[in-house]
Amino acid sequence: MTNEKKKYWVGFDLGATKLLAVVFNDELEIVAERRRKTKAAEGLAAGFKRIRETIEQALDAAHISTADVAGIGVGSTGPLDLDKGIILETPNLGWGETPLKATLEKAFDCPVIVLNDVDAGTYGEYRRGAAMQARCVVGIFPGTGIGGGCVYEGKIIRGRRNSCFEIGHIQVLPNGPLCGCGQRGCLEAVASRLAISAAVAAAAYRGAAPTILKNAGTDLAEVRSSVLSAAIEAGDKTVEEIVRDAARWLGIGAAAAVNLLAPDVIVLGGGLVEAMPNIFADEVRNVARKRAMPAFRDAFRVTVAKLGDYATALGAAAWVQTVLLAGHDKR
């Protein structure tokens, strides 16, 4: 069990582009943090070094030694083997199979739990954000792909070894556009930031999105969330319609989760939602309300995440704290 004197918890957000280490006290208040770029292309060894340094620098900033850390929770980009705490091979990082848990436990001599980043983010919102202590929370985080998570009666719903809640890959449009997973008509293929950016770049090329053409040209990689929201504010109606269309598809996906699990709260998060919170909340709420079974229709709310990009780090720290203090299995 944990040492009574160790009262600090590290939450770590391991993304394809960004590393964030946050030191929390026992009340899950932020003591210090450190951000760095992932620079995944430099390879696994360099990646581990940067991860370790980021945590060490956050501890330094908090004036805390490694010996004061009770546990580290990592919310990581996937796919993962949760029990082993391994990142499986993914083009996101290009590191091959990555033994995250074992390496960090050795480096910091404390228990480490690895979670899916969206699971951790959803759990963070459940513990300290927009879904505090709700019986059932569904988190939907549209980005390059679309991640989902579910906290049911205080526990993160998971698969046998992997995380689950791959809401981005439920079929919403038979014979719809091709998805990265190889299938057609997945939610992700019509409602992710990538799908939106592709449609918007095409609109820019056609001359239907003048602000986009001016600010980002026709390169969809340049059509970021902030570029989209700026274009909508400047009056690019086609851009707004494309974003609203995507949000309506998200509502169809959200309704599937509502009809299956009757959650109390749907939390929408991620950079896309942060940039255009009202569009996403309104469209998802309207469509999900309409599509949900009458008995569930007024039993859930749709809200925007409150913790911003701290959600994953906070959720990972809160989860490792909960699991270790309860003496649960260390998953």
Question: What three-state secondary structure class fits 206?
Answer: helix
Contact at 8 Å (CB) between 274 and 98?
no
CB 305 within 8 A of CB 272: no
> Which one of 93, 150, 275, 314 is in contact with its own copies (CB under 8 A)?
150
**Cβ atoms of 34 and 27 closer than 8 Å:** no
Residue 93 is given by DSSP the state T
Return the number of the residue (33 or 119) whose C-beta is nearest its own copies.
119
Beta bridge partners of 148: 140
Closest CA to 66 of 8, 2, 3: 8
- The answer to the question of residue 293 lying near its own copies (CB under 8 A) is yes
Query: Among the candidate windows 6-14, 109-117, 149-157, 232-240, which touches its own copies by CB under 8 A?
Result: 149-157
From the list 6-14, 145-153, 195-203, 209-217, the region that binds its own copies by CB under 8 A is 145-153
Please identify which residue in 30, 32, 173, 198 interacts with its own copies, judged by CB under 8 A.
173
What 3-state class would DSSP assign to 109?
coil
To the nearest whole angstrom, how small is the minimum distance from the Cβ of residue 273 to its own copies? 20
Output 209 or 288, the one with its CB closest to its own copies: 288
Of the residues 100, 146, 191, 255, which one makes contact with its own copies according to CB under 8 A: 255
Nearer to its own copies, 58 or 100 (CB): 100
Task: Please pick, from the candidates 120, 146, 157, 305, the single residue that binds its own copies as defined by CB under 8 A.
Answer: 157
> ω before 277 within 30° of 0 (cis)?
no
- Write the binding mask 45 to 74 for its own copies: x where contact by CB under 8 A, - elsewhere: ------------------------------
Burial class (CB in 10 A: 0-12, 13-18, 19+), 41: exposed
